Structure 1
Amino acid sequence: MKKDSHIDTELVNAYQAGDQKAIAKLVKRWHVIFCTKAYWLVKDTNLSKDIAQESWQTIMDKLHTLQKPSSFKNWALRIVYSKSLDALRERSRKLTKETEFEISQVSLVEDYKENTELKGSLLKAIKHLPEQQQIVLRLFYTEEYSLKEISDLLNISVGTTKSRLFHAREKLKLILKSKIGNT
């Protein structure tokens, strides 16, 4: 290719003068080399072909601004090199995002397991409470009744409802603390 650098100069001059066939000849001369250089950097055949294609798009867009047609080789290879580095950075960004996503998924699974274990312990602890306290707990937390609604439903005073709820919470704390202390 060194011997034929004058051919590149002539083709660039011809393209800059308006000869559209000159770019096809440049592509024929350089496309495989561009793919090879891109592959050398990214180590992915399909990606290197994409990089070469993107490089040609940039070259065709900017070739009219090339002031020194004899420097086509270095100029074009610099474009391929830059596009390859961009592709590597993008791949790295995607890999980082995927890794972060996988870590967050693992964290969610661990949180879910911990929550499931906690819920299981809580349900077992609730079964150890007197039935009146279990009913008040379920109505208040599961059914989301207000204290007034629970008192009306069970035909007890609001004060008694509060008292049962308070004692149920306190007993749950003791039961859960003793279970946590035993594990």
Structure 2
Amino acid sequence: MERETEQRLMNDIRRGNKEAFRALVNPLIPKAYRSAYMMLQSRPLAEEAVQNSLIELYSAIMNGKEIVRLQGWFSRLLAHRAVDIARKEQGYKQTVDIDGVDIQDAASTPLESLLKKEQSERLLESIMALELQQRIVLGLYYFQELKIEEIASLLDIKEGTVKSRLYHARVKLSAVLHRAQGRAKELLI
């Protein structure tokens, strides 16, 4: 969305146009939900993070806060809310239900679509198996597209710690996916 359009919608929101808020945030919600779900491993907690972020965004707009890059600002806000919830719910565990998580792709045939969906599900299951700290940095880096410096600042840790957690998360993901690929080949033989 262009900056001028964002500013126009924010001005409309300040004048009480509720449809303008919907138009402003609807493009942000799918990515925000996927990112929060990946970090928190729970639909209700992901919904809570997104909802809290939307409420805070609305309040910021109504209070006249100058938001220059909405998508980046909202991504950081969501990351903060997801981290807050993760810290609060540190011991919270729930089974992973990925049936409803639709990862969009551009596959042209039903077979390609099925294969991509299986790969996406395997990747998501592998991410969910990571430790909370690794899931959070992975989500902030790849899904929210924050820089290492931003993640370090957000989590109040050193940049080297962020890099280390990303490295170890990648190593674990690679090993899990490699084993899964090996098992799939054995089934075909």
TM-score by length of 2: 0.42
Structure number with higher helix proportion: 1
Name which one, 1 or 2, has greater alpha-carbon Rg: 1
TM-score by length of 1: 0.43
Higher relative contact order (CA 8 A, sep 6+): 2
